[in-house]
Chain A
Amino acid sequence: MVKIENIHKKFGKNEVLKGVDLEIPKNGIFAILGPNGSGKTTLIKSILGMVVPDKGKIFIDGKQTHANGLYRKNIDYLPQIANFPSNLGVKELIKMIQDLRGGSANSDHLIELFQLEPFLDKKLSNLSGGTKQKVNLVLTFMFDSQLVILDEPTTGLDPIALLHLKELLRKEKEKGKTVLVTSHIMSFVEEVSDEIVFILEGKIYFKGNLSQLREKTGEQDFERAIAHLLKKNHA
C-alpha cells in the first residue's frame, strides 16, 4: 500500500529522518511509535506531501507521490493538533471540506456517534479541545478512502469517544483499509494495532507484530517492552 524508500529530511541543522525504508502492506492497522521528536509526524507528513523530503521516494499503491498533491484524494488524514479556521462554524467547516474534496461523504452517522449535534452551529474557536478533536475525527472518517492516517487520534478524547474511535478503527479494518496511526497511549496501541513500527532518531528501529516485540525484548508487558527498546538504545 505504502512504500517508503530512503527518506531523508533535515530542518536546518536538525536531521529528523535519516534514511527511512518502510513498506506497509494492505489491510491492517499499523502503529508508528517513537519518543517525542523521533520523526513520526515528519514521516507522516512526508507521506502526505506536506513536508518535502530532501531525498528518497514514496509510493502509494505503486504510484510515486506527486508534488501536486492530488493523490491525497485517496488518503484520509487526521492532523495532530486540531487547528481550524476560528471564524467558521462546525457545519460550515464540514461542508467546506466536502466541497474541496469532492466525492461522496457521509458525516451524519459520525456526528451522531460523537454527539456533535449541539455544536453544529457553534464557531470552532468556542469549542473545547476534546470537541475539536471529535470534529477532526468526523472530518477524517467521513470519506471512504483506502488509506487512513491518524496522528495522535486519542488526544483530548473522553472515554466514551475513545471507545467509539476504537470501534471505528475496527470497522475500517474490516472494510479492508490500511490505517496508519501514531499514539503515545500504549494501551490504545496495544489494543488496536496489528503491527508496530518503532522509530528512533530518524531511523526504523523495530518493525513487527506484538509477539515479535515481546520476543525481541523479553518483556511480556507491552509498555515495558517499548520502554526496554528505548532504554537499550540510550544506554
Chain B
Amino acid sequence: MLKILKYSFFDLIRSRWSYVYLLFYLLLGFVLLFLNEDLSKAVITLMNVIIILVPLIGTIFGVMYYYDSKEFTELLLAQPVKRSSIFIGQYLGVSLSLVMSLVLGLGLPFVFYGLFESAAIWDFSLLLVTGSMLTFIFTALAFNIALYNENKIKGFSYAILMWLFLAVIYDGLFLMSLIVFETYPLDKFTLIATVFNPIDLSRILILLKLDIAALLGYTGAIFQKFFGTNVGLFLALGSLMIWILLPVLNIYRKAKKKDF
C-alpha cells in the first residue's frame, strides 16, 4: 500500500492543481492577516472559509482523481497488489497531498506573522486539524461515490450534490424543522442532527475551542450545555473520526467486490 500511496502522492504533487490549491491558501492567509492585523480574528474568518471550501475541494479532487486514474488503477489491478491497498493507497495519496497544501498554505503566512509567539497557536492548530479531517472525510465520501458510479458525469453530479447538501441544504432543513417543531423539546434532535453532518460538527468543534458564545449558534450552545466545553470538544472530535472511518471502511468493502 505504501508504494501505491507514494506513486499517487508524487503524481499529485507534480500536478498543477495542487499548486493552485496551495497558492490559493497562501494568498488567503496573507490577505486575511493583512486585513485583520489580529491572529485570533483571522482564525475565525478562516474557519468560515475552511468549513465550506475544504469539503468542496476534497470532494472535487477525490472524484476527479478516481476517474482520472482509472487507467492507472486497471494497470495496478493486474499486478500482485491487494485491491484494498490500491484504493486505500490512492485515497491516502489524494487526501495527504490536499492536507499538505492546506497546512503549508495556511501555516506559512501565520508563521511569518508570529504565530509561535501568539496565544492563538492552539486555536490555529485545531483549525488545521479540523481542516485536515474534513479533507479526509470528503475525499473518502467522494471515492465512495465514484466507486459506485461508472459514469463520470453522474459521479461528479452526485458528489457535488452531496457537498451542497451537507454544506448548505442541511442547515436550511435543520433550521426549518426547528421552527416547525419549536413547541417540542428539541435538544436531542439537535444533537443527533449535528452529529450527522461533519461540517456542522467541525464548526462547533472550532467554536467550542475559541469559546465565543455569540457565534456558537443554537446547535453549538446545546452541545456546550449538554457536554460542557471539554467533553463536547472530544465528542465532536470523536464523531469526526467516525466520519472518516466509516467511508474508508466502505471503500475497502466495495473495492473488494467490484469488477474491472
Inter-chain CA distance A67–B78, complex, in Å, is 13
Residues A72 and B15 in contact, CB atoms below 8 Å apart: no
Inter-chain CA distance A77–B257, complex, in Å, is 21
Residues A99 and B3 in contact, CB atoms below 8 Å apart: yes
Task: Tell me which residues across on chain A come within 8 A of B259, comparing CB atoms.
Answer: 11, 45, 50-52
Which residues of B220-260 are within 8 A (CB) of A? 256-260
Q: Interface 1/0s, chain B 46-59, versus A by CB < 8 A?
A: 00000000000000
Q: Is A220 an interface residue (CB 8 A)?
A: no
Q: Is A96 an interface residue (CB 8 A)?
A: yes
Residues A84 and B260 in contact, CB atoms below 8 Å apart: no
The closest CB in chain B to the CB of A136 belongs to: B75
Query: B80 touches which one: A51, A69, A79, A85 (CB < 8 A)?
Result: A69
Interface residues contributed by chain A, number (CB under 8 Å):
26
Residues A69 and B82 in contact, CB atoms below 8 Å apart: yes
Task: Tell me which residues across on chain A come within 8 A of B74, comparing CB atoms.
Answer: 50, 79, 83
Q: Say whether, besides A67-B256, A100-B3, A87 and B78 are in contact (CB < 8 Å).
A: no
Residues B72 and A100 in contact, CB atoms below 8 Å apart: no
* A to B contact number (C-beta, < 8 Å): 63
Q: Is A64 an interface residue (CB 8 A)?
A: no
The closest CB in chain B to the CB of A45 belongs to: B260
Residues A86 and B71 in contact, CB atoms below 8 Å apart: yes
Inter-chain CA distance A71–B79, complex, in Å, is 9
Residues B71 and A68 in contact, CB atoms below 8 Å apart: no
Inter-chain CA distance A68–B77, complex, in Å, is 11
Inter-chain CA distance A72–B79, complex, in Å, is 6
Query: Could you tell me which A residues sit within 8 Å of B by CB distance?
Result: 11, 45, 48, 50-52, 67-73, 77, 79, 83-88, 96-97, 99-101
Task: Please name 8 further chain A to chain B contacts, defined as beta carbons within 8 Å, in addition to the given A69-B82, A99-B3, sorted by A numbering.
Answer: A51-B260, A69-B80, A79-B78, A85-B11, A85-B69, A85-B72, A87-B11, A97-B75
Can you list 7 A-B contacts with CB-CB less than 8 angstroms, sorted by A residue number? Answer: A51-B260, A52-B258, A70-B80, A85-B11, A87-B15, A100-B3, A100-B76
